[in-house]
């Protein structure tokens, strides 16, 4: 029997991501899977989940993951990944609990001389500001403030499919302190160092199986987790010639590669 796959996007998340959605659908059909695009919460609630084997969630909502987890045997990614991959405070606390190196979150009065302020739930480098001095305004529920790490403008994104890193992309800031592709970073395919490989394997063992990204920078004292990307993008991979990435993801989703 063909694997029945739903690919769920929030309506607000879909613009700019239609290409990858269409690529996932086409890859699934190539493998003989029944693939159903689902856009928006109303469409999700109307879905006959009893006839779905797996849902690939491209929404950042923890609530939607929890709702699906009670109704579908496989949900990609898990609610844990939704939480730590979309909430920088939650990620920091999770890393602290598991003794993983990650930039500290600062509070008023303990701010370093150079700091970076980020939207707590932001992505893609938008709304991130570099500042100096001890005076800054911060609403803890909206922003987090972290020490500026100059070497972090060079980092590696490790793309995880299942429990394996399938490709690693180095991103280097070009005229900006942010290493996001959307901010003009230079990108190239690379291989992690041995210490970074061990660090990433530890993170995967804690997060479990899924399709996500792990952003790591290596500083003077070793690897540091910069960010977990739950709804990981694919633009860098396609720009670097990995045109079969959606097929790789769908092969794992359909149980055809053993990852």
Residues of the chain predicted below pLDDT 70 = 1, 107-111, 134-141, 182-183, 258-259
Identify the pLDDT of residue 194. 94
- Looking at residue 248, its pLDDT comes to 95
1-51 pLDDT, tens digit per residue, is 689 999 999 988 888 889 999 999 999 999 999 999 999 999 999 999 999
pTM across the whole model: 0.91
Domain ranges of the chain: 4-76, 83-101+150-239, 114-147
User: Residue 257 has what pLDDT?
Assistant: 77
DSSP the chain: ---EEEEEE-TTT-TT-HHHHHHHHHHHHHTT-EEEEEESHHHHHHS-GGG-SEEEE-S--HHHHHHHHTT-SEEES-HHHHHHTT-HHHHHHHHHHTT---PPPP-TT---SEEEEEETT--TTTT-EEEESS-----TTTEEEEE--GGGGEEEEEEEEETEEEEEEEEE-SSSS---GGGT-EEEEE---HHHHHHHHHHHHHH-SEEEEEEEEEETTEEEEEEEESS---HHHHHTT-TTHHHHHHHHHTTSS--
The pLDDT, as a whole number, for residue 145 is 83
Looking at residue 135, what is its pLDDT?
Answer: 56
CATH code of the domain occupying 83-101+150-239: 3.30.470.20
Q: Return the pLDDT at 110.
A: 62
């Amino acid at each position: 029997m063909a694997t029945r796959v739903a690919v769920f996007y929030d309506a607000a998340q879909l613009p700019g991501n239609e290409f990858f959605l269409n690529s996932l659908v086409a890859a699934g059909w190539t493998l003989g899977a029944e693939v159903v695009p689902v856009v928006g919460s109303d469409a999700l609630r109307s879905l006959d989940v009893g006839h779905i084997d797996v849902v690939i969630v491209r929404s950042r909502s923890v609530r939607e993951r929890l709702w699906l987890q009670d109704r579908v045997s496989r949900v990609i990614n898990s609610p844990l990944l939704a939480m730590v991959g979309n909430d920088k405070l939650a990620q920091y606390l999770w890393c602290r609990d598991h003794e993983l190196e990650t930039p500290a979150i600062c509070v008023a009065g303990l701010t370093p001389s150079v700091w970076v302020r980020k939207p707590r739930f932001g992505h893609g480098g938008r709304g991130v500001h570099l500042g100096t001095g001890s005076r800054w305004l911060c609403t803890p529920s909206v922003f987090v403030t972290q020490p500026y790490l100059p070497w972090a403008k060079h980092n590696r994104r490790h793309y995880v499919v299942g429990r394996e890193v399938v490709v690693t992309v180095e991103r280097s800031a070009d005229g900006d302190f942010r290493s996001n592709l959307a901010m003009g970073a230079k990108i190239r395919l690379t291989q992690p160092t041995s210490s970074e490989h061990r660090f990433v394997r530890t993170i995967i063992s804690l997060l479990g199986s899924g399709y996500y990204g792990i952003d790591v920078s290596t500083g003077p004292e070793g690897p540091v987790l910069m960010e977990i990307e739950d709804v990981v993008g694919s633009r860098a991979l396609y720009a670097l010639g990995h045109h079969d990435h959606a097929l790789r993801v769908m092969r794992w989703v359909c149980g055809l590669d053993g990852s």
